[in-house]
Structure 1
Amino acid sequence: MINKYELKARVYPSVITLLPIIIVGLYFSIDYQNIYSLIGGLGLTTILTFVLGQLGRDKGKKSENRLWNEWGGAPSTQILRFSNNSLTKYLKKDIHAKMADSTGIGSENMKSLERKNPEKADNIYETWCHKLRSLTRDTAKYKLLFNENINYGFRRNLWALKVPAIIFIMVGVLIILLSEYYSNIKMFNLTSGAIISLSLLGILLVFWIFIIKKSWIKTVAFAYAKRLVESYDTT
């Protein structure tokens, strides 16, 4: 049975990616009054949703390191650094003390270590975050953290599917225009169904180009990271 994370972070991005195919299916269904075309299109969509869900997850995971390198490191690691001001210095000091005690590493002066050996300091912070993730898997107890993780997974996987989504849109536009051309012999004499379908595809194109960006992922990535490190006192 599919769980909440898989549904929202993996299936939803795939469905959104496949909307152009659904729109084209509706266009032909309305145009030719053939409900079987729509049913067949939705059956194909179900299969493609599963495949794209897997591809989006894999591509999203592979893209994480590239995103984190561009941002200056994993969000949770950045938040734990003394050079980062996302948390107050008093809260950060408390988190460091608790995590060093519970993991047995990082008892040295981390502020000094960050200056002398930033790679080692980041490795310690990554270990702390790994520990926190393993202790916060109870989605009922850590509901807010779980929801932030879903938001991050959804946006990351949606961004990973940006290229195929735009390709689907352009192919959909081409199919509709060719259908109209060969049906009406006049390229710009579009039917109402074509106008509606092309308008919807245009809206989707604007969405993918102007909304689905790295900065859109970054916002929720740091929100999740902050919620994760703030859970130190409840584990």
Structure 2
Amino acid sequence: MSTLGDTGTMMLKFYDAYSVRARFIPAMLGAAPALAAVFLLIPWKEFDLYVVVVSVAMLGLLYALSDWARKQGQALEPGLYNQIGGKPSVTLMHRPDRTIDPLSKDRYRTFLATKIKHPAPTEADEQQNAAQADAFYELAGTWLRTNTRDTKKFPILFNNNCAYGFRRNLLGVKWPALGLNALVVAICATALWYNWPISMSDDTVKRVLVVLVVAAAHALYFLLGVSKQNVVLAARTYARELILSTEVFIKLRAR
């Protein structure tokens, strides 16, 4: 088992903190029942070369799954934004939205207008030419994201971004993960029922039962804990913190 752990540690060095938290972990959670089956049912103490090959193959698969989870999460965004009325970093800047106080948003608009070299939309602009106003807020959000990449200076924003990416990507793999869960359960149940393909020892039966427990907990978590509402909440929290980061730049300019 130490071989797998050492290989996993080396593999994680290729991931940055965001990728680990927002991509790799959702991929691992999505494949949890299958991973549990591999870790519990393969005789790791035997066939060292075989263990190394399986370990590397699993880690490579997880890398591919993490990239797939990201793509699945990104594919959800347009439909999700349509359902909630737009991208949160844009809609929170609208004057009717009271998530951030109006006076602060007026200051932020004035400051951001100087950075993106475009006049800030007035209240009338938002009502009469919403597309143009949203284009301003989109550019402003892009400027903020580009200039807040330093995770040491903006740790809260970074953590909120990771939380949003984690929830979004987890929602993206929700139904494939539950499908994989059902497949693992079906294989384990068949093995227990028919005692196939080999005569299972008591220890093996216990391992199969552990896999089934993991599968049950996994299904419960995905069915109850992974939802659009949680993704929207994380998106709005991140957007709010992104907009509030403007305060840092205003204070820096005032020095």
TM-score normalised by L of structure 2: 0.82
Aligned twin of 2:128: 116
Find the aligned partners of 2:134 and 2:91 in 1 and give their Cα distance. Answer: 8
Counterpart code for 1:210:
L
Counterpart selection for 2:242 from 218, 228, 231: 228
- Match runs of 1:60-209 below 5 Å: 60-109=73-122, 111-183=123-195, 191-209=205-223
For the 8 Å contact 2:121–2:133, the answer to whether it is kept is no
The letter for the 2-side match of 1:202 is: A
Deviation at 1:178, TM superposition (A): 0.9
2:67 to 54, 64, 71: 54
How far apart, CA to CA, are the structure 1 residues paired with 2:73 and 2:150? Answer: 24
Q: Is the 8 A contact 1:9 1:154 kept in 2?
A: yes
Partner-residue secondary structure (3-state), 1:80: coil
2:36 equivalent to 1:23:
yes
Q: Give the CA deviation at 1:78.
A: 0.9
Higher mean alpha-carbon deviation, 158-167 vs 35-44, is at 35-44
CA distance, structure 2, for counterparts of residue 167 and residue 84 of structure 1: 39
Contact in 2 for aligned 1:22/1:42 (Cα 8 Å): no
Q: Distance in 2 between matches of 1:108 and 1:84?
A: 15
The runs of 5 or more residues in structure 1 that have no matched partner are: 185-189
Amino acid at match of 2:81: W
Instruction: Go from structure 1 to structure 2 and tell me whether the alpha carbon gap of 1:113 and 1:217 turns closer, same or farther (over 3 Å shift).
Output: same
Aligned mates of 2:190, 2:149 — CA distance in 1: 51
Q: Is the 8 A contact 2:37 2:208 kept in 1?
A: no
Matched AA of 1:66: G
| Structure 2 Cα separation of the partners of residues 124 and 64 of structure 1 | 20
The separation in 1 between residues aligned to 2:105 and 2:88, in whole angstroms, is: 15
Q: Give the structure 2 partner of residue 187 of structure 1.
A: none
Percent identity of the aligned residues? Answer: 24
Pair 1:214 & 2:219 matched: no
| Alignment coverage as a number of residue pairs | 227
In 2: Cα distance, 1:151 partner to 1:71 partner:
19
Displacement after TM superposition at 1:26 (Å): 4.1
The answer to whether the 8 Å contact 2:120/2:136 transfers is no
SS in 2 for 1:152: helix
Residues 70 and 50 (structure 1), Cα distance of their counterparts in 2 relative to 1, 3 Å cut: same
| Cα distance in 1, alignment partners of residues 82 and 121 from structure 2 | 26
Q: Tell me, in whole angstroms, the C-alpha distance in 2 between the residues paired with 1:233 and 1:210.
A: 37
Q: Which moved more, 1:134-143 or 1:67-76?
A: 134-143
